[in-house]
Structure 1
């Protein structure tokens, strides 16, 4: 029997109790909800999302969606499980890891050279390339939506357009009745396009999991008074208008990815240093012209233009204002890799971050197994 979906405040909702409440319907929260419904179908579950749809905005919809096997030994089992969980969603197109110097496993780029690469790479600067033929791309947004739909179809409830506030009372955030409390602020929009809180309801939960991405640690700190070591960063992903096909390989050089998408490429720079609390994205300058790119993004592109020659051409679309450049806050879990953390008697934190493409689904499944048991 399918669960219920509350999309707007016109649908009445009263205070309720759930065995499980998952805050955040991005890729980690939706994957967790799906696994929980599979492993613990007897438990009632509410998935709460601040946006209008699972994956609608933020880091999930802008995620690169690139899987490859180049992970530390301690993460290899999780990476393989994530690849298996992706199933048919993974488009196996391969990945070329480019290098300026000869290294073990890096043959000459001439061995994999194609006319398509000639428009992207200067082989005089990047003469070596290590292929990963099992690597591929996928839409993190589509996977997230499929996971959320599967959870709902198997009985999970979903509430959209709702902002969660953790209510920490008593020992380990528990009230006298021994359950976790979360106040759900249901959002609406006025005729002046202002977002307002139209209703607030209290929900109790036997177990409450915060999977709100970059906002997760601050929710935990504000609601439960627990300070975690996790941080955040703001990443932008410009567009490169150079022709690609679904079979074009992902290119990687010094941490920067060129991910084939929609007939061109998405440029995914390495994560800059963690941003201070309160940062507001502003534009940078490229050869004296104001653009919507942050300085860290510009630096990452400039440092790699010699080898990835397409970045220095007319195909790079930096935009004319900050609104033209897709960008989102992402979590930086302590240690760098997706993780779950128990916070107390009834609270857990689940984070994906920059490596969620590689191991996120496995980590969400791992937490679901623990909660279901």
Structure 2
């Protein structure tokens, strides 16, 4: 039985000689870190290795872009069970950092008049046009930071005995993974320092949009999942700890870091291999993609704030964040996915739906997957 704290390999200067694990988890985003932690918690005799090409949490994936809003309204019975499990896990790992906020859900139906509810929030009266969105439901939702949750789960996994390797590119092989450990040259080029073979009885692929490519390139396995690019523009309107969330259809606005962040699911899958770009200033990508602006234009009558100067167009990639997301073709707003693609290989995808997405269902889905694997 493995016990004690796991080993961490953060750079190539740390010698690595392991050749076999019971489980290898590829991807240290929210779902991957949760899978590693639950595996060690429920089956402490299993040797678990968690991998990521970047850091913990992954800096370039969707985890850091997530809205972090738990809202179980409108879910079916199966999804409600996953949401309830997720809520219990959120309370367990985040405690007081899981914050309740009022969510105003605008539309053509709802128990309250939009004008009456907006009167209680004077700062928002110019945001919504009640002629287009006349009704609203006000309810409580829970908010958190997915990156912070991922960090806590990853640290707990290591504390429980899971090994963690960062700065490594994984390649799936029959019966395990091939590890390409990365380093940076004095010319700031990322290169492979060494390659190692590791056997595993079970591989959990939680690498976001890259997961489907890993399955195809390494094992020749095809799944009905594509990928899409999303951006998270900011709305330069002041917010504080008491500011409400706003939802209008599949558009969500969350108070974040003194402003508002705008969340909209991807509209469709981009062609394979397409690298999105927008404007350029001295070689740096800037601004909003035209596709996103085209999706926002029809919403500006109902939400006049989107047509104001408050919509941030950014001056650098740090202003307008983006990430590739895995999604099934033809279904850009899908819930989280946990599926066995072949014996010994599972695929985890976070999902891009703004309702019933990874923030509300993710931990429940992973917990259920691990429960099934360990019994």
- TM-score of the aligned structures, taking structure 1 as reference length: 0.90
Task: Give 1:34-45 correspondences, 5 Å limit.
Answer: 34-45=37-48
Distance 2:63 2:268 in 1: 20
Q: State the match for 2:307 in structure 1.
A: 312
Task: Give 1:346-361 correspondences, 5 Å limit.
Answer: 346-354=344-352, 355-361=357-363
Where has structure 1 moved over 6 Å in runs of 4 or more? none
**5+ residue gaps in structure 1?**
169-179
Task: From the superposition, tell whether residues 296 and 109 of structure 1 become closer, same or farther in structure 2 (CA, over 3 Å).
Answer: same
Alignment partner of 1:276 is 2:271: yes
Q: State the match for 1:298 in structure 2.
A: 293
Displacement after TM superposition at 1:119 (Å): 4.4
Task: Give 1:212-223 correspondences, 5 Å limit.
Answer: 212-223=207-218
Distance 1:167 1:198 in 2: 19
SS at match of 1:270: coil
2:240 pairs with 245, 251, 255, which one?
A: 245
For the 8 Å contact 1:270–1:300, the answer to whether it is kept is no
Q: Point out the more displaced range, 138-147 or 69-78.
A: 69-78
Distance 1:35 1:15 in 2: 22
Distance 1:68 1:148 in 2: 24
Distance 1:269 1:344 in 2: 33
**5+ residue gaps in structure 2?**
none
Q: State the match for 2:340 in structure 1.
A: 342
Q: State the match for 1:120 in structure 2.
A: 127
For the 8 Å contact 2:228–2:324, the answer to whether it is kept is yes
Displacement after TM superposition at 1:39 (Å): 0.4
For the 8 Å contact 1:242–1:310, the answer to whether it is kept is no
Distance 1:322 1:292 in 2: 8
2:49 pairs with 42, 46, 63, which one?
A: 46
- TM-score of the aligned structures, taking structure 2 as reference length: 0.90
User: Superposition RMSD on alpha carbons, in Å?
Assistant: 1.9
Task: From the superposition, tell whether residues 226 and 164 of structure 1 become closer, same or farther in structure 2 (CA, over 3 Å).
Answer: same
Distance 1:291 1:32 in 2: 35
Q: State the match for 2:173 in structure 1.
A: 167
Task: Give 1:170-185 correspondences, 5 Å limit.
Answer: 180-185=175-180
Displacement after TM superposition at 1:345 (Å): 2.2
SS at match of 1:343: strand
For the 8 Å contact 1:333–1:352, the answer to whether it is kept is no
SS at match of 1:79: helix
Displacement after TM superposition at 1:322 (Å): 5.6
For the 8 Å contact 2:25–2:206, the answer to whether it is kept is yes
* CA offsets 1:25-63 (integer angstroms, 9 cap, x no match): 100000111111110011111001111222322211111
Paired residues, what number? Answer: 354
Q: State the match for 1:204 in structure 2.
A: 199
Distance 2:104 2:7 in 1: 45
Displacement after TM superposition at 1:255 (Å): 1.1
Task: Give 1:185-204 correspondences, 5 Å limit.
Answer: 185-204=180-199
Distance 1:324 1:90 in 2: 26
Q: State the match for 2:89 in structure 1.
A: 85
